[in-house]
Amino acid sequence: MRLTLDNLACRRAGRLVYHGLHFAVEAGQAAALRGPNGVGKSTLLRQLAGLIPVAGGDARLGDISLTRDRQGFQERVAYAGHLDAVKPALSVGENLTLWAGIHGNDAARAGAALARFGLDVIANRPAAQCSAGQQRRLGLARLLVADRPLWLLDEPTVSLDTEAAALVADLVREHIAAGGLALIATHVELGLGDIATLEMTPPEPDAHHQDDPFLAGSWT
């Protein structure tokens, strides 16, 4: 399975965030998204997760098109964004058991993921009482119960200590060794070696006016 970006474009609030993205990641590989703040790295990951519409071009995962079969594309993606989507009223263990159930996996799978992230010792603690680093680990532990080939990771080591950050790198290596793919937006080196990189740059200053009826004034 191959992830291919083919002339991909995105607009948000009428502004062209990026356009003409061409990139490919093969099964068994990880790739990094690089670029200054605000260039669209998080937006690209959210778009590939099916949360933001495509303004032009397409993305394909194998023979599945994001524009023609968004649900099918989403069903093959595990997305870990800036927000960990932890339910504060539930315990650490209940959070992950719920997530495992959504993906058709049992509590044993959730328990193994908790142990891998060192969260089994606080499984009964309300998630609202967890530190930022613990909540981040809980959010990332969902990757291990989702069974999705494509991991989209947005600054996955934020709030993590050195040991937990190294664990994230280990998990990515294991995932791609099993034939998975990972696209990671990060400003730090994860210790994954020499991996492919998509360098994102801002669009040309006037590019956001092109082919935009609203900004061109046709709304008047």
- Of residues 47 and 219, more confidence is placed in 47
pLDDT higher than 60, residue 220? no
Q: Do 105 and 138 fall within a single domain? A: yes
Q: Which two tokens stand for residue 166?
A: 């190294």
Q: Do 205 and 169 fall within a single domain? A: yes
pLDDT digits (tens, 9 = 90+) for 151-164: 999 999 999 999 99
Per-residue burial over 121-155, b = 16 or more CB atoms within 10 Å of its CB, e = otherwise: ebbeeebeebeeebbbbbbbbbbbbbebbbbbbbb
Q: Do 158 and 142 fall within a single domain? A: no
d(CA 77, CA 61): 9
Give residue 97's pLDDT.
Answer: 95
d(CA 99, CA 111): 12
- Residue 41 sits at φ, ψ, to 5 deg, of -65, -50
13 in the Ramachandran plot: left (φ > 0), alpha (ψ -120 to 50) or beta? left
Q: How many domains does the chain contain in total?
A: 2
pLDDT higher than 80, residue 69? yes
pLDDT digits (tens, 9 = 90+) for 19-53: 999 999 999 999 999 999 999 999 999 999 999 99
Query: Which residues, at least 6 apart from 25, have a Cβ–Cβ distance to it below 8 Å?
Result: 2, 3, 31, 181, 182, 183, 196
Q: Which residues pair with 56 in a beta bridge?
A: 9
Domain presence at residue 24: yes
By residue range, what is the domain housing residue 124? 85-147
pLDDT higher than 70, residue 218? no
Instruction: Tell me the average pLDDT across 209-217.
Output: 51
AA identity, residue 122: I
119 in the Ramachandran plot: left (φ > 0), alpha (ψ -120 to 50) or beta? alpha
- Residue 7: Cβ within 10 Å count: 12
Domain presence at residue 171: yes
pLDDT higher than 80, residue 176? yes
Give residue 141's pLDDT.
Answer: 96
Give residue 94's pLDDT.
Answer: 97
pLDDT higher than 90, residue 56? yes
Q: Do 2 and 55 fall within a single domain? A: yes
Give the confidence band of 212 by pLDDT, cuts at 50, 70, 90: low
Give residue 208's pLDDT.
Answer: 46
Q: Residues for the chain: how many in total?
A: 220
